[in-house]
Amino acid sequence: MPESMQVVGRNSGSPGLGRRLLTVAVASGLAATLTVSPAATAAEDTAAIPVSLISDEGDVVAGRDIGVFAEIATTSGAGEPEIRYELLETLATTSRGLAEVSPRSVDRASELAGDDPTLLLFSAGPEGLLMHYVDPDADPVDGVDHAATRAGRGAQGPARQVLRLGAPSSADGDTLFAASSTSSPCGPTGGPSLRATSTYTRRWVPFQRTQTLGKTRATYSWETTSNTKIDVATDGKFGAAKVGLAASSTNTTSGGWSSALPTNTSRRVDADWEYRRHDIWCTPLTGPQYYSGQWQWRPHRWTAGNRNVNSQPALTCKSGTRVKISNTTWVAQSTTVDYSGYFSIAGVSLKSQQKNSSSHKLSFQPTTSTGAHLCGTTDYPVSSAQVRETT
C-alpha cells in the first residue's frame, strides 16, 4: 500500500476551475486524510481546501472503494448558489491489495445540463466489480446509507464534498458485471472499467397500471426518477446478457407527468428512457489498457417522454380488499412494482422497478353520487402495489 498517491483530476466541462491536483495521503492503519490542492490557475481555486476522507479504517484495502466527489458551488449574483457535481477522480484497489488510481476520470459535467449529482465508483475487489450510485440528496433508504459525506470549506474557495463509498458488498451496489460468461471480459487479472460513449438508444419502460370501470376516473401522477431502477444489458463478443438493475446515471429531480384515465379504461403508463452505451475497457496490472469488445447499455435518463398504453389485461383483486369510496381519493404506497417482459435490448428482456412514494400517486374520482369501490391486487388499496376500481 503506498503511503501516498497523486491523482491528477480533470475538469472537463467546468470552465473556470482549471486543472486541479489532488494529493491523496493514505496512511496505513491510521485515519486517512485527503487534501484537494487546486492549482493556481483559476482565481476561485487559489485556496487549499482541506477535506476529510471518510474512512473508519484509514486504509485502502482490497474490496473497498474510494471516490472523490466534488460539489462545486459558485454564487451567481443574488439567490441560491449554483451547485454542480463532478466526479474528479477515482481510486481503485485490486484484489491483490494494490491501491491504484483509476485510469480515467469521470467527466460527468459534460454529459448533461442540469445539476444532478451523479454517480459511481468502481474497484476490483475480491467480490468483483461494483458500481455505486451516489445521490447526496436521496432518501437514505434509496442508496446513500452506505455512503458517508463530509464537506470542507476553504477560506476563499468553493465547497468540496468527498464521499467514500461503502463496501462493495453493499446491497445498494449495482453489479457491474453479471456472474455469467460475460462477467470477466478482461480475464481474471484485468480490471474492467466503463467508458461512456456518445451512442444512445431509447426504450419505452412501463411503470404503473390501473383500471377503471363505470364509476370512477383515475389519475396517475409521476414525478422524478429517483425511485426508478432499470435493468442494464451487456452485449458484444462475449454475448448479450442482463446485468441487473441500476439507477439512471442522471436523475430527473424535477418534472413528471400526469396520466388521466376516463371511465372503463385499463391502462399502463410508459416512460421514454434513454440508454447510453458504455464500452468495457480492461486495465491489466501490467501493460496498456485495451478495449474488451464488450459493452453495456446502462439507463441514462428519462427523456420526459411518456405514453399511455390502453387495453391492458384486467388486474385481479386480492380477496377481501374491496373498499367503498365516495370522494376524490389518493393513494401513495411504499410498495415496489416490477415490470418484466415489456422491453428488451440486444434481444435480452429487461425489467423496470418503480418504488412508489408520495411522488407517484394514484387518484380516483367517483363519477356517481353513490360512490364506487376499489380493490388492491395484493392488499387493501392503501398497501397494495396496484389498485383498480371494482364492482
C-alpha cell at 374: 376499489
Shorter beta-carbon distance to other proteins: residue 296 or 333: 333
Residue environment code for 357-379, b if the CB has 16+ CB neighbours within 10 A, otherwise e: beebbbbbbbeeeeebbbbbbeb
Q: Which is nearer to other proteins, 227 or 283 (CB)?
A: 227
| Pairwise CA distance, residues 326 & 341, whole Å | 36
Q: How far is the CB of 271 from other proteins (least distance, A)?
A: 21
* Letter string b/e over residues 75-114, b meaning 16 or more CB atoms within 10 A of that residue's CB: eeeeeeeeebbbbbbbbbbbbeeebbbbebbbbbbebeee
Q: Which cell goes with 90?
A: 477515482
Strand bridging mode 82-93 / 66-74:
antiparallel
C-alpha cell, 193? 472499467
Least distance from other proteins to the Cβ atom of residue 319, Å: 4
Contacts to other proteins by CB under 8 A = 318-335, 357-358, 361, 363, 371, 378-383
Q: Minimum distance from CB of 223 to other proteins (Å)?
A: 11
> Which H or E element spans position 103?
none
C-alpha cell at 199: 451512442
CB 296 within 8 A of CB 194: yes
Looking at the Cβ atoms of 88 and 317, the one nearer to other proteins is 317
- Tell me the closest approach of the beta carbon of residue 245 to other proteins, in angstroms: 20
Q: How far is the CB of 391 from other proteins (least distance, A)?
A: 13
CB 328 within 8 A of CB 380: no
Nearest distance, CB of residue 22 and other proteins, angstroms:
40
CB of 186 or CB of 315, closer to other proteins: 315
Nearer CB in complex with other proteins: 254/327: 327
* In the complex, least distance from residue 336 CB atom to other proteins, rounded to whole angstroms: 11
Q: Nearest distance from residue 201's CB to other proteins, in Å?
A: 34
Residue closer to other proteins by CB (options 52, 357) is 357
Query: Which residues partner with 374 through β-bridges?
Result: 323, 389
Beta bridge partners of 31: none
Look up cell 376500481; give the residue. Answer: 389
What is the spatial distance between Cα 206 and Cα 269, in angstroms, rounded to a whole number? 6
Other residues' Cβ atoms within 10 Å of the Cβ of residue 188 = 6
Q: Which one, 87 or 331, has the nearer CB to other proteins?
A: 331
Q: How far is the CB of 313 from other proteins (least distance, A)?
A: 22
> Which CB atom, from 193 or from 384, has the smaller least distance to other proteins?
384
Cα separation, 186 vs 388, in Å, equals: 49
Cell output for 295: 459493452
**292 or 329, CB closer to other proteins?**
329
Contact 13, 19 (CB under 8 A): no
Cα 82 to Cα 115: distance, rounded to the nearest angstrom: 8
Q: How far is the CB of 382 from other proteins (least distance, A)?
A: 5
Query: What angle is formed at CA 150 by the lines to CA 149 and CA 153, rounded to 5 degrees?
Result: 145
Is the Cβ of residue 221 or residue 312 nearer to other proteins in the bound state?
221
CB 362 within 8 A of CB 330: yes
Phi, psi (rounded to 5 degrees) for 157: -90, 175
